[in-house]
């Protein structure tokens, strides 16, 4: 059994963990931890409640919620907080099947929606946003789109169902195909108020109209730039912030003592 207690750890392992903790604050170390996904492929899609006019992680304008938006799983989104490279990107999402249903449900209609990514779906140890470079989510996918739905911009019957057979209408998770598309295909493209980031947030928000992946029109990773590593902790251990601070201070003094 793995213990969460620090009391029985040896001084050597404590020193090592001090150094590792110190190193983890160097953004470079984490640069390769983000998931590199192809422009088209398969993904899972879930849905979540995003209040109208809510300013989500990227800091896109409140009016962006009048059009289809989604949160992307943290390790593909590219930041553990605030904005990341996925912010503002548009994807055409097409429902394929509800693979968790028994039997698997294949809709008899093709439903697609073009979303703009405005939010971060936090990394967790299980759940649909848990993919890392080390492994996919329970659907075998490295991407999960968490659709803001219900939404005034998406019909309430967007998700096909067969209530007579299954006894419920919401499958919760879908197997989908996705394509990166230009945001000129997004429903909010011609609404100036739905584009861009909240002015009063200044440089703490980033929501390009139509990011292409080029650094001049694509958000950097907030957590990389600010030394905040992706949150990869399990929920099993609580490590208080004052202890973390002490560890950092000890690591800094240790390093300055050594060099």
Ligand X SMILES: *[C@@H]1O[C@H](CO)[C@@H](O)[C@H](O)[C@H]1NC(C)=O
Closest to ligand X by CB, 141 vs 223, is 141
Do the beta carbons of residue 143 and residue 43 sit within 8 Å?
Answer: yes
Contact code string over 98-127 relative to ligand X, x by CB under 6 A: -x--------x-x-x-x-----------x-
CA–CA distance, 73 with 218 (Å, rounded to integer): 18
Q: Where are the alpha helices (DSSP H) in 194-240?
A: 222-225
CA–CA distance, 203 with 17 (Å, rounded to integer): 34
Least distance (Å) from ligand X to the CB of residue 14? 27
- Please report which helix (H) or strand (E) contains residue 75, including its range: helix 74-77
Closest to ligand X by CB, 146 vs 251, is 146
- Residue matched to tokens 């030394």: 227
Contact code string over 8-47 relative to ligand X, x by CB under 6 A: ----------------------------------x-----
> Any contact of residue 135 with ligand X (CB under 6 A)?
yes
- Please report which helix (H) or strand (E) contains residue 250, including its range: helix 241-258
> Any contact of residue 191 with ligand X (CB under 6 A)?
no
CA–CA distance, 43 with 97 (Å, rounded to integer): 11
Least distance (Å) from ligand X to the CB of residue 172? 13
Chain residues binding ligand X by CB under 6 A are 42, 92, 94, 96, 99, 108, 110, 112, 114, 126, 130-132, 134-135, 137-140, 162, 175, 179, 181, 185, 214, 216-217
């Amino acid at each position: 059994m793995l213990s969460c207690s620090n009391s029985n750890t040896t001084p050597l392992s404590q020193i090592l963990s001090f150094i590792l903790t110190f190193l983890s604050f160097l953004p470079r170390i984490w640069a390769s931890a983000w998931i590199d996904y192809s422009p088209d492929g398969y993904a899972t899609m879930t849905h979540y409640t995003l209040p109208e006019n809510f300013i989500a992680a990227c800091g896109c304008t409140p009016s962006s919620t009048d059009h289809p938006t989604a949160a992307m799983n943290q390790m593909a989104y590219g930041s553990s907080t605030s904005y990341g490279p996925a912010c503002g990107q548009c994807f055409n999402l097409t429902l394929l099947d509800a693979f968790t249903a028994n039997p698997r449900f294949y809709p008899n209609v093709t439903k697609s929606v073009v979303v703009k990514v405005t939010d971060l779906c936090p990394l967790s140890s299980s759940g649909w946003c848990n993919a890392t470079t080390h492994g996919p989510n329970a659907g075998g996918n490295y991407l999960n789109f968490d659709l803001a739905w219900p939404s005034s911009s998406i019909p309430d019957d967007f998700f096909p169902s067969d209530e007579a057979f299954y006894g419920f209408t919401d499958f919760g998770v879908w197997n989908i195909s996705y394509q990166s598309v230009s945001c000129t295909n997004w429903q909010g493209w011609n609404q100036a108020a739905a584009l861009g980031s909240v002015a009063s947030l200044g440089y703490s928000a980033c929501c390009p109209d139509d990011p292409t992946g080029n650094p001049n029109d694509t958000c950097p990773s907030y957590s990389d730039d600010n030394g905040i590593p992706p949150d990869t902790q399990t929920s099993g251990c609580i490590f208080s912030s004052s202890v973390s601070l002490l560890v950092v201070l000890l690591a800094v003094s240790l390093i300055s003592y050594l060099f």
